[in-house]
Structure 1
């Protein structure tokens, strides 16, 4: 039934049925892989991995919670007056995970993204899972596209921990990308870093590798629009394409109680949504992920709803890209 070697169909599909002919819910819009004909615009892929998290995390359960919320929201963006139902979106299911072997899980992610991006030209949207998934995902896409990739990282943390201390984890994706030469350090911009969440040594490593850093305080001082404009101008001057990773812990803890590493003085939701919209609209962006949401620690699905709205604003920007 499923046409991919490293993906499995979701265990449950949340589709309550269309009761109002004038309302299209996300669950009415997003198709399954078996229903798709042609080349989809957006390809949603669940990555249910959190065994590689440094701290306890139930982020492996987020892809299914993300899907469950599709019955709660519509496809109509009132601010932009666009209906996402005009895009072709498909849920390709979840990357297959090994019960105990984290390196095998990472290999499966890389192979899945290579297979999907080799077959379709649409844009992959990864729903994590912890942040370790970003490294193999980009490696898989690199094998398909063979272009110079720039990375925009929204995160409270640098994620450049030494892999000698615990292997590849949610604290290492940026270091892993640099040390394996999957990306150049100078092609990475990290936005939203927080005090009391990082170390001087790892900041020095990131800066020595050429990573550009914007702290959450700098974002407040400069404004998110100025920071994003600078980032896009800087990366697009030398990179062929861009990938975006949203670690949801970049937001203030009052907005996302269901992330493993909550902290005060984070970014505001409206700023992250604005960035998601602009990046979805950008012709050079070829993939994105949302990571580190733990539904087991959440309150009334608040954090999952924020992550879903990151996707919806990104999809709204993508609509402008392809539909005008």
Structure 2
């Protein structure tokens, strides 16, 4: 059960009011055989806890956003807490995440999912199947195009491969790529053959965020999926695969703001925070601030 809500947000708005965005969390998705996802299940609570220091300041000026979070208007985002998932209850977890995503989209509101490992992204994206086509912008150090690992096709190494098979996915930009992961030459070629635009962290550092943003069509409906290891471990040490050369906090929040201006942010997920490897709560704090900027970007959409 969720003991506190992000930024102290309510879990519902007054009768007759529809939220702009709804945050929820899912600790477990599709676990690989013999692997334990329980450490990732601690991530959402860590992020919520890190946000509490800012809760009394919610109406104050935010210099990242150029004004108060909700622009001196009533609160328009809610946190509905953790949905019920369990380790290795893979099919049931996927069904619950998809159903919750569909429920939020039907309001209509923007769903914001806190994972959990990267496997929760697959059912989250499935939840958009009944809506208009979407573009995926994946911010991640890794490609995530494995077809299967240990016989499992819905695990954390496969979300972008599975997304490429969904009819409602109009296109994909994958940015922040660096170092080495599970991808081999075949996965890279498959991603490129699908039409995914691959933008490395080095390209972002050398040419700026718009080297990635330019690939998204004007007016597109965008779902941003953010793996915490996309950020440099100097500010995001709490990940399982620390890799030097990652994105900065300012690059990530500028990307989110630019995407909100380029098109319309239709959904967002944040995954792969690994609290047991965090240092003095730095990762959870960084993740919390990214979420604040994401909510601010949504609230500034027409």
TM above 0.5, yes or no, is yes
Unaligned runs of 5+ residues in structure 1 are 1-9, 16-25
CA deviation after TM superposition for structure 1 residue 317, in Å: 2.0
- Aligned partner (choices 64, 71, 78) of residue 90 of structure 1: 78
Deviations 1:67-107 (A, max 9, x none): 11222123231344422243311111222213431122111
Q: Is the 8 A contact 2:139 2:230 kept in 1?
A: yes
Q: Is the 8 A contact 1:135 1:173 kept in 2?
A: yes
TM-score by length of 1: 0.82
CA distance in 1, matches of 2:47, 2:32: 19
CA deviation after TM superposition for structure 1 residue 36, in Å: 6.5
CA distance in 2, matches of 1:52, 1:301: 26
TM-score by length of 2: 0.88
CA distance in 1, matches of 2:190, 2:5: 45
Q: Is the 8 A contact 2:31 2:87 kept in 1?
A: no
CA distance in 2, matches of 1:154, 1:53: 23
Q: Is the 8 A contact 1:113 1:141 kept in 2?
A: yes
Q: Is the 8 A contact 2:24 2:81 kept in 1?
A: yes
CA deviation after TM superposition for structure 1 residue 14, in Å: 6.1
Q: Which shifted more, 290-299 or 156-165?
A: 156-165
Unaligned runs of 5+ residues in structure 2 are none
Q: Which residue of 1 aligns with 2:288?
A: 308
Q: Which residue of 1 aligns with 2:2?
A: 11
Tell me, yes or no, if structure 1 residue 161 matches structure 2 residue 146. yes
- Aligned partner (choices 72, 95, 101) of residue 53 of structure 2: 72
Q: Alpha carbons of 1:80 and 1:91: their partners in 2 closer, same or farther (altered >3 Å)?
A: closer
CA deviation after TM superposition for structure 1 residue 248, in Å: 1.1
User: RCO (CA 8 Å, sep 6+): is it higher in 1 or 2?
Assistant: 2
Q: Is the 8 A contact 1:248 1:291 kept in 2?
A: yes
CA distance in 2, matches of 1:302, 1:203: 32
Q: Secondary structure at the match of 1:287?
A: strand
CA distance in 2, matches of 1:124, 1:166: 30
Q: Which residue of 2 aligns with 1:254?
A: 234
Larger fraction in helix: 1
CA distance in 2, matches of 1:65, 1:282: 31
